[in-house]
Structure 1
Amino acid sequence: MDSPHGAAVTAEGFGLKGPRGWTFRSVSIDAAPGALVAIEGPSGSGRTCLLLALAGRMHATEGRAEVGGLPLPRKMAAVRRISALGPVPGVSELDPALTVAEHLRERALLQRRFDGSLRALLRPRAERAAEARGRIDAALEAAGLDLATLPKQERTSVRDLERLEGLRLSVALALIGRPRLLAVDDTDLKLSDADRAEAWALLRRVTEGGTTVLAVCSQAPEGTTIVRTTAGQDIPAAADADAEAGSEADAQAVVPPAQPEADTEAESGTEAAVGSRPDTRPEADIEAETGIGTGSETASLPESGSGPDSGSKGTGRSGAGIRTNDTNEEGAADALAETGRA
């Protein structure tokens, strides 16, 4: 896998205000390309909202920020195309009913459909399959996920994965798109001390490959760029659960408005028609395209009109990206938001 050039992340006086007040405010960041940035703070302090805002998924309301030289919030769509989400609860979660192979195969199919030009889609099948297999193998290696060690190898269901293995799979899925920026939520949640050390070692390896990593955590390790969040002054003191609920409400309230499809096509140079039809080819063709055997499992293909989006919480299976009810509002140019286009 070609080492992507990481995206520098800078922010000054960065803030987001929702219906209940400030979700986060006065955030300053200065991270070089390929840095590991830990977003640290208590539950309900706006950590996830800051993560999504920096990844181009939420519309900030004050201050300035740039990701890879792209100003936020003006260039949110462009930031989405160079970034990818790892595990973010309620946004880009793994589907526990799917197997590891189904997640990988679905992500590879979406990557091929939305990330390539029409000319690339017309390449020989063997060439496309080899590229997909290479992307998957490189992503698994970078995430440190060895399929042979899983209970049922690649046919292991996500529900049977340990927490650390699930994190590795989510990171691998994001890296298939070769993003310049990787955003990971709840990095150290429900991990033992040993697994927490493994998780941070994983993210450091990702940065060594050139990708900038933003990771939400409750306690940042040494050697990371630390950004601390505190709840806004306008939000009344409450229990952590109530504060978290407020942050989720804010997240839904600040989704950027829909853009005309023509505008998004012009910005990305990709025709919306490329990803507008479901893949109805036989299962054997799907296996040949992705290089991942289907075995006795049924291939998981995206439904018509669905695909990764980033403006709101997913409503369907999210192993290959966010599922929403309004995926057409950003057009096909943003369909790769969650697969991480370099």
Structure 2
Amino acid sequence: MDSPHGAAVKAEDFGLKGPRGWAFRGVGIDAEPGSLIAVEGPSGSGRTCLLLALTGRMKPTAGHAEVGGHRLPKKMAAVRRLAALGPVSGVNDLDQALTVAEQLREGALLQRHYGAPVRAMLRPRAERRAVAEARIASALEAAGLDLATLPKAGRTSVRDLERLESVRLSVAIALLGSPALLALDDLDLKLSDSERAEAWALLRSVAARGITVLAVCSEAPADAVVLRTCPRDPDGAQGSDVPDAPAVAEDDADADSGSDTKNDSENDSENDDKKGADDALAEAGRA
């Protein structure tokens, strides 16, 4: 697997507004290539929308960002080419009907057709197969997934993988394209404390290779550049905490919005937040 230079991630007053209000707004960040960036916040607070916007999959409606020298929203296609998605529910889910080996071969095939230079397509079939197998082996090593440890090795069904194994497989497939930016959603979902530590150790090792990593989580590690998102108020505006880390998601909602939020039940608020994020996702579209 190639070791590309990571993508610097910068944003100023970055935001996305959907039919029900802001999915996120006022986001600022200045992260160097090879950084480990954590998007921290409760479910429904616009975390996934922010991740997809920074990877060129959703069109922002306020401010601007720059990823790998490409300015958003003008250069969304260029950002998509350098940014690979790990696990993002509803966007690039693993195929539960495939085996692990089949999923890896499919990922390599897609990369060969859409990411490889034309000259690579002209190589003899045996050479192309050998190159693909070498890339898969390298990506698996980088993702820390040893097929020999699975119940049926490469013939193990994707549906039978543990959550952390599934994350590792998704990361391996994403790394097949030698991205400058790797983005993952809900990294710590359904992971025990020890598994969560393993997942962050994996991402640190990827960042150590020079690849910038952007991961959505409920709780960020101390060594990450942190972007924090917060639920919106009842009028649809989203506020954000100001973190200590260099990356800042600023709170530019009305000052009295917090008191209004207290009058709503927690369940209603969370449902509204999720609905707002879903609406924004539908309006902006996915690439």
Q: What TM-score results when the alignment is normalised by the length of structure 2? A: 0.87
The CA deviation at 1:131 is: 1.2
**How many pairs does the alignment contain?**
257
Please tell me the residue identity of whatever aligns with 1:28: G
Indicate if the aligned counterparts of 1:86 and 1:170 stay in contact, CA closer than 8 A.
yes
* Equivalent of residue 278 in structure 2, options 233, 240, 248: 248
Please give the per-residue CA displacement for 1:66-116, whole angstroms capped at 9, x wherever unaligned: 000100000000000001000011111112121101100111111111223
- Structure 1 pair 117–83 and aligned structure 2 pair: CA distance change class (3 A): same
Match status 1:137 vs 2:167: no
State the percentage of identical aligned residues.
66
The CA deviation at 1:42 is: 1.1
1:63 counterpart SS class = strand
Q: Which residue of 2 aligns with 1:146?
A: 146
Indicate if the aligned counterparts of 2:15 and 2:61 stay in contact, CA closer than 8 A.
yes
Q: Using the alignment, how far apart are the partners of 1:100 and 1:71 within structure 2?
A: 36
Please give the per-residue CA displacement for 1:128-183, whole angstroms capped at 9, x wherever unaligned: 11211111011100000000000110011111100000000000000001100011
1:52 counterpart SS class = helix
Gapped regions of structure 1 (runs ≥ 5): 256-309, 312-342
Please give the per-residue CA displacement for 1:14-73, whole angstroms capped at 9, x wherever unaligned: 000000011101011111000000000111110000000000000001111100010000
Q: Which residue of 2 aligns with 1:113?
A: 113
Match status 1:235 vs 2:236: yes
1:6 counterpart SS class = coil
Q: Which residue of 2 aligns with 1:303?
A: none
Gapped regions of structure 2 (runs ≥ 5): 238-260, 262-267
Q: Using the alignment, how far apart are the partners of 1:131 and 1:254 within structure 2?
A: 37
Match status 1:194 vs 2:224: no
Indicate if the aligned counterparts of 1:22 and 1:231 stay in contact, CA closer than 8 A.
no
Q: Using the alignment, how far apart are the partners of 2:80 and 2:41 within structure 1?
A: 24
Q: Alignment RMSD, CA only?
A: 1.3
Q: What TM-score results when the alignment is normalised by the length of structure 1? A: 0.73
Q: Using the alignment, how far apart are the partners of 2:271 and 2:177 within structure 1?
A: 34
Q: Which residue of 2 aligns with 1:20?
A: 20
Q: Using the alignment, how far apart are the partners of 2:92 and 2:119 within structure 1?
A: 30
Q: Which residue of 2 aligns with 1:71?
A: 71
Q: Using the alignment, how far apart are the partners of 2:224 and 2:107 within structure 1?
A: 30
Q: Using the alignment, how far apart are the partners of 1:19 and 1:141 within structure 2?
A: 43
The CA deviation at 1:232 is: 4.1
Spell out structure 1 runs of 4+ moving beyond 6 A: none
The CA deviation at 1:119 is: 2.8
